[in-house]
Structure 1
Amino acid sequence: MSIESQHPNGEPVTSSGDAQANARRSSTAQISSIVALAVSVLALATGAYQTRLMQAQARASVWPIVSLGLSYFGSRDKGGFTWEVENNGVGPALIKSVTLSLDGKPMRNWDEVFQVLFGHGRENATVSSINGNVLPPSTNRETTIAAIRTTQPDEAKALFDAKDRFKMSVCYCSVYEECWEAQWLKRDVAPVAQCSVANTVQFEQ
């Protein structure tokens, strides 16, 4: 029971029981505020995590995976060699940079390659440009660009025999501007901050 008395100046004096009750109410209010703040922070953190997760899933849904390889068959009467560029991912690959070297010397096009290997420019082989192009994904279809293809037995064998003398690098990006570098005859790709053409000899065809 609350007991009040009169102060000499006429003001009521609250008993110790009321003071304790007021302190408990104040403490409860502070705890409630702290809990509410913690719940708000947790909700914000959960929302931010879900947003990052959705963004990561969106990026993963359009990841391109470029590989550089070859196909070759040879016989006395016929032969064939194809330099293959494939996108085995689920999103388009934006080709930003291509470099090719033969015996450590940078090449600008297949004519320069043929000059080194055969002493003359390209005559019968067909080529396709990949530098600056968008390589579509292989989802629901086979997508392979033949960078160079020949059905001449001598050319096919010479290109196949020289495969270890070549080095090719293709730098490409996804639609989210995440970039990777693919290497000739290597399965794995390496992530890079960006594709740079500075101080490089670009292979144009």
Structure 2
Amino acid sequence: MESPDVHTPHAHPPGHGGGGLPRWLELTLAISALVTSVASIALAVKHGDTMEKLVVANSFPYMQGGFSDMTPDGRDVLSLDLLNRGVGPAHETSLFVTVDGHYVRSSEELITASIGPGKSGHGPGQLATLKNSVPTRFIPGGQQQFVLSIAKTADNAANWDLLQKAQPRMSTEFCYCSVFHECWRVVEKELDPVPVKACVRDEKREFTP
């Protein structure tokens, strides 16, 4: 007479779950997943910081300005211009002009301080001024705006020549900000813009041609 088969359960080796992965392997996989998550977060933060710096770099203005006495095509024009050599827009909010260190507030005061009274206007021999009289200026990257220009004509040539000779006595100072509210002060005689916390207008000295 045959006896029935009896199946004895096999004991699992230490470190194994019932039919699962070894515990050491589960722990290794969990640690690997954690390391991968941390690395992904770090890369995302670094990428975000890099993108922020790239946006700032692509919005960086670099302003220059001052007087000149000739246009690019060779015409005799005494002008005051602001030029943005940067890639981002600039918001010019304050502008000062001096003659011999003394502030002038208009083109009339500029001409009077430079060559004497009675030389500004539209009369015979007088210097007529083309003006950009807005109090502040928004200048895109790679572009410029004129503040004032005085063209030489046959009628005003004598006074214009006097004004041209007085040009070295003229100086400008202005302040501008980027779209991120980073601000710089520019003095014509200095080489580079100087960072400042903010541009502050001084209405008693502001130049409005």
Amino acid at match of 2:173: S
The equivalent of 1:51 in structure 2 is 48
> When the two structures are aligned, how many residues end up with a matched partner?
183
CA distance in 2, matches of 1:167, 1:85: 13
Seen in structure 2, the aligned counterparts of structure 1 residues 26 and 173 have a Cα distance that, compared at 3 Å, is same
Q: Which residue of 2 aligns with 1:183?
A: 187
Aligned-partner Cα distance in 2 for 1:129–1:35: 66
- Alignment of structure 1 residues 184-199 onto 2, 5 Å: 184=188, 186-197=190-201
Q: Distance in 2 between matches of 1:104 and 1:149?
A: 22
Unaligned runs of 5+ in 2: 1-10, 17-21, 122-127
CA deviations over 1:6-61 (Å, ceiling 9, x no partner) = xxxxxxxxxxx94xx49xx7776666555444433322221122112212222222
* SS of 2:44 mapped into structure 1: helix
Report the Cα distance in structure 1 between the residues aligned to 2:189 and 2:158, rounded to whole angstroms: 22
| 1:87-102 equivalence runs, <5 A | 87-102=84-99
Greater fraction of residues in helix: 1
Match for residue 165 of structure 1 among 159, 166, 169: 169
Looking at structure 1, the residues matched to 170 and 159 of structure 2 have their Cα atoms a distance apart, in angstroms, of 15
- Aligned residue identity for 1:203: F
Maintained 8 Å contact 1:173/1:179:
yes
Using the size of structure 2 for normalisation, the TM-score is: 0.67
CA distance in 2, matches of 1:30, 1:193: 53
- Structure 2 CA distance for partners of 1:202 and 1:33, relative to 1, 3 Å: farther
2:150 is aligned to 149
The answer to whether the 8 A contact 2:66-2:171 is kept is no
What RMSD, in angstroms, separates the aligned Cα atoms of the two structures? 3.4
User: Does the 8 A contact of 1:98 with 1:203 survive in 2?
Assistant: yes
Identical aligned residues as a percent? 23
What runs of 5+ residues in structure 1 fail to find an aligned partner? Answer: 5-16
TM-score by length of 1: 0.69
Cα offset, 1:64, TM superposition:
2.4
Contact 2:97–2:173 (8 Å) recurs in 1? yes
Match of 2:108 in 1: 111
Partner amino acid for 1:41? V
